[in-house]
Amino acid sequence: MASSLTKDPVRPGTPGTGKTFFGHPRGLATLFMTEMWERFSYYGMRALLPLYLVAPGGLHLNAGTATAIYSVYVSLVYLLAMPGGWFGDRVWGPRRTVAVAGAVIMLGHLTLALPSAGTFYAGLGLVAIGSGLLKANISTMVGHLYDGPDDPRRDGGFTVFYMGINLGAFAAPLIIGTIGENVNWHFGFALAALGMALGLAQFLLGSRHLADRSGVVPKPLSAEEKAGTLRKAAIWAGIAVVAYAIVGFSGHYTLNWILVPLTLLGVIIPVMVLVNIKRDRELDRPEQSKMSAYIWFFVAAAMFWMIYDQGGSTLSIFADSSADNTVLGWEFPVSWYQSVNPVLIMALAPVFAWFWLALNKRGKEPSTIVKFASGLVLVGASFFLFLAPLSIAEGGHKAAAMWLVAIYFVQTVGELLLSPVGLSVTTKMAPAKYASQMMGVWFLAVTAGDATTGLLSIAGVDLNRTGIVAMEATLAVVAGVAVWMYRKRVKELMGDVR
């Protein structure tokens, strides 16, 4: 990438040095590579996770327990993005928080690489904590590279950064997945640790090119606040230690003692956060109205992610046991399915951007509500499509790989309709008092969706059964149609936001 770093005579005020990265501040190269390697480690491990959990050579759990663990893990990553952002704002500053996060993630993957069931869950926890710390803060530092929200390069910079995410997500299953499945599961996890180590090393070396304010704590805790926070953390930690010690020594401990509280938190905390914001009397009438509209989008997004994220669990476990994972007679690792979505994102995102722009020029671009409703309908349609390979498998045959590719394709189109719009509407509808927190609230929709999947799995619901898949698909389509039917009411609540 060195060849893309050229002198920029136009904008000498660019943070960092006078060189640029494809016309953007040079610090974007540092953040691009950090995010690429972090996503490489994250998605590589995530592609292996459900397969390792059910494999005879892995933990050999049943599909329901594996899905529950996977769902709880993903929900935790997004749940911890809010406290991760808080640490960046109040304790360490974004730059230091990302450096600590990278080290925690690397340690987590190394712990996963140890051949022990006990350390495996500790490793998952460390990766979730590190990912939560990193997620919000690295995006904040991308924004720091530009001269405010009106900098014309800002949107393009985030687009380049987004490509780093998808490059890492695309390569990871092909490399880490192949090593993990075909050589050794723990070698795969170790390779994820190596990826994060590379990302952390280049972040530390290239951090001098970041904006100065990325190293500043925006609103540091006072001594009194710090003491109060530590006291509360110690109390809750003490309660947890005592409670689990009692359960453990009494001989009643099972994995559900961890899974059930975490899944419940994944549902309860998003609800509490939304209720707290909605009931805030300091919000004026227009802000209250916008929050009422935002709840529609939040619930729709939670339902979308509940189905969408099963692409890494339910669909992956199905592919492992019931799909013919071959192309022209050549067999490929099951984890490779997880590369389908990022490569489709990279191929289709520019097409969608051009398409919306062309429709906008003609005054025919669909509203935010219509895009959201369409995304929900499509994710429901993807599970109606899933009924075909399920029926084939129930008939005693292996389902063709292209059925699964088709499902991922429909889900990706739905994601491109819903996810970018959701990020945009979150920033536009955020009350001024909660402007810096609302992106974390958006991530809580993912938490709520995945936690719901986890609760269903813990309750013994077989998510690979035809009836359950049909029910989820129907709920998503009905929800999408409902959002569309009430679009005029939601538009009224949105006020001046379009």
Q: What is the DSSP letter of 184?
A: -
* pLDDT bracket for residue 11 (50, 70, 90): very low
Look at residue 6 in the predicted model and tell me its pLDDT.
41
Instruction: Dump pLDDT digits (tens) for 419-432.
Output: 888 877 777 787 87
The arithmetic mean of pLDDT across residues 260-266, rounded, is 92
Exposed/middle/buried for residue 10 (C-beta within 10 Å: 0-12, 13-18, 19+): exposed
23 against 495, higher pLDDT: 23
Confidence of residue 14 (pLDDT cuts 50, 70, 90): very low
What proportion of the chain, given as a percentage, has pLDDT over 70? 94
What mean pLDDT is predicted for residues 98-123?
93
Instruction: Answer whether residue 3 shows pLDDT above 70.
Output: no
Which positions ≥6 away from 241 have C-beta within 8 Å? none
CA–CA separation, 364 vs 194, rounded Å? 48
Structure confidence at residue 433 as a pLDDT band (50, 70, 90): confident
| Residue found by looking up tokens 């009350």 in the block | 431
15: left (phi over 0), alpha (psi -120 to 50) or beta: beta
DSSP state of 395: T
Which pLDDT score, from 0 to 100, does residue 140 have? 84
Average pLDDT of 413-418?
92
Using alpha carbons, list the distances in angstroms from residue 16 to 11, 148, 208.
12, 16, 7
Provide the Cα torsion 262, 268, 271, 275; round to 10°. -130
DSSP state, 208?
A: G
Q: Structure tokens of 109?
A: 């993957």
Task: Give the mean model confidence (pLDDT) for residues 124-130.
Answer: 95
Whether residue 48 has pLDDT greater than 80: yes
Report d(CA 254, CA 69) in Å as an integer: 13
pLDDT digits (tens, 9 = 90+) for 62-102: 999 999 999 999 999 999 988 988 898 889 999 999 999 99
- Which distant-in-sequence residues (6+ apart) come within 8 Å of 360 by Cβ? none
Q: What is the pLDDT of residue 360?
A: 86
Average of pLDDT values for 351-360?
A: 86
Buried b (16+ CB within 10 A) or exposed e, 130-141: bbbbbbbbbbbb
List the single range of 7-21, 50-64, 270-284, 439-453 with lowest mean pLDDT. 7-21
Q: Structure pTM?
A: 0.90
Residue with tokens 């994944």: 266
What is the model's pLDDT at position 420?
Answer: 80
pLDDT at 321: 93
Q: Examine the pLDDT at 495 and tell me if it is beyond 80.
A: no
Yes or no: say if 335 and 47 are a contact pair by the CB < 8 Å rule. Answer: yes
- Asked if the model's pLDDT at residue 475 lies above 80, the reply is yes
At 288-330, the pLDDT tens digits run 888 888 888 899 999 999 999 999 999 999 999 999 999 888 8
Q: Check residue 415 and give its pLDDT.
A: 93
More confident residue, 108 or 165: 108
Quote the pLDDT of residue 18. Answer: 55
Q: Which of 39-48, 350-359, 458-467 has the weakest average pLDDT?
A: 350-359
Rounded Cα gap, residues 498 and 481, in angstroms: 20
pLDDT of residue 380: 97
Mean pLDDT of the chain: 88
Task: Check whether 491 has a pLDDT greater than 90.
Answer: no
